[in-house]
Structure 1
Amino acid sequence: MRHGLLLDHCVEPDGTINAKIMARALGIDVAELLRAAPDQARLQETYSVISIVRPWTKSAADTWTWYHGKRLERFGGQTPAALVSAGRTAELKDFLEAGEALAPPWPPTPDVLHMPTDVRTAANI
């Protein structure tokens, strides 16, 4: 994982979110994160949404891109970031946890119908 950090490392023992660690885990500049989530409450809301989505994406950076760029039809085309800014985090989390936002972001892996028996490994030349 990028920088060897997990999003879970962002949570301090008192329940607050460490913005510097969260920014590093997402592969973004801390200033960008603080523009999106200027106070501790907004950081916690952002973290809660990103934590739900992170397993669906290829990387933490992809999660951040999704958070700012994915237009959700159910919410009139608003992005998750706009919904959190509008104070609709609980509604967004319910939507995400219900799995309604799950759509295959990448094409599914095709089924292997037949595996040849005479397969040879390629030589590393």
Structure 2
Amino acid sequence: MTTSHTLATLAAVSQRFFGLAVLSGAVLCAAPAFAADMHVIVDNESPTAIVEIHASPTYDDDPGVDVLGDEIIYSGDDLDVNFNSRSARGECILDVLAIGADGREWQRRMNVCRQVEWTLGY
């Protein structure tokens, strides 16, 4: 094997390795960007404050964690809600339960990766 042939082989292997490294990095970087898209504007048009919003995958009977945390959505207000929680497990289709201060409940199955807004009314 000649030196030039060895160098050419080494260069080809290096290019393949570099290409795989770049592709792997792109895939790893894409996951957080996708997760960041799990936001929905919740518009409260009801007469009561929304004090809890729970979300879980459709196959889970547990309502999931309260994604509002300490936030409250008062009547007439809206809030950008992040549905990327432990209980969502990275799923886009979720069963969502909103609970008002007066005990009223709103339930909806939604694609939180595509849905932009959810209006809660009377």
TM-score band, normalised by shorter chain: under 0.3
| Alignment TM-score, normalising by the size of structure 1 | 0.22
Scaled by the length of structure 2, the TM-score of the pair is: 0.22
Q: Which has the higher strand share?
A: 2
Q: Decide which structure has the larger Cα Rg and report it.
A: 2
